[in-house]
Amino acid sequence: MKILISPAKSLDYKSSLPIAAHSEPAFLSEAIQLNASLKTKSPAELQKLMHISEKLAELNWERNQKFTTPFTTANARPAVFAFNGDVYSGLDAYSLSENALGIAQQNLRILSGLYGILKPLDLMQPYRLEMGTSFGLNGQKSLYAFWKQELTTHLKNELSSSELVVNLASKEYASAIDFDALNTSVIHPVFKDFKNGKLKIISFFAKKARGLMTRHLIETNAQTTEDVLAFASDGYTFNETETTEATQPVFVR
C-alpha cells in the first residue's frame, strides 16, 4: 500500500528526534533548481506570489537564502518530524515504534511543492512553496506542470502489481498526481462530522482524521481496502449508507 498525504505550512526544527535514521529526497536536484529561482525573489515578491504576510515573506526569503547542499542532519530534518500541521498531529510520528517508522518509510509518501515527493525520513530544509502557487521553471507557469508527469511516473514505478493507493492528500496536492495513469486501485477517504444536525466536511477535523487514518494504516501494515474500512479512531467509523462511491468511502463521527 502507498499512502499519500500533504505537507504542512507550520514546521518544527527544534523537537528532539526519536531516531537517527534518515534518507535523501528522490527529487533533490529539482528542489535545487526551484530554490535557485526562489532565491532571486525579494521578500516583497514572495509576499505577492504566495499571498502571505510581510513577516512570513521575510522568514521565507531567509529560508530560501540559507538553502544549501549537501543535506546533513545538521542543516536538515526528516520530513515526517519537520512538518507540524493538523495531519501530523493526528499521525503523531514521534510516538510511532521503530518498526512502524520502517513501515511508514516503505508505504507513506508526502507530496511537496518544493521536493516533489518525500519519504518520511527524507531530509528536508525549511521552506514554503504550496503546490497551488503560480510558479514554475523553464516556461512552465505552475508547479503542477513542473511536477505532474515526474511524480506520477515515480509513484507508478514504486508500485508493485495491484498495490493499493490511499489518497489522504488535500485536493491541492492530490492534483499533482494523475491517478488514472497509475493503473491500480485508488481510494480517496472522506471524513464528515455532524454540525447543526447535518453531516459536513469540517477542514480542521478532516485534516486530523487523515493523520489518524495514516497512523492506523501504518501501525496495522494495511494492505487491502478492507483494512482501510476497518479504521475506527477518535469517533470516526466507516458509514456504508453515506458512501455513494466505492472509491470514496465516507467515515462519519
φ/ψ of 62, rounded to 5, equals: -65, -40
Q: What is the pLDDT of residue 137?
A: 83
pLDDT > 90? residue 139: no
* 70-113 pLDDT, tens digit each: 999 999 999 999 999 999 999 999 999 999 999 999 999 999 99
Determine what percent of the chain is predicted with pLDDT higher than 90.
96
pTM: 0.96
Domain ranges of the chain: 2-189
User: What is the chain's mean pLDDT, rounded?
Assistant: 96
- Averaged pLDDT for residues 139-151: 93
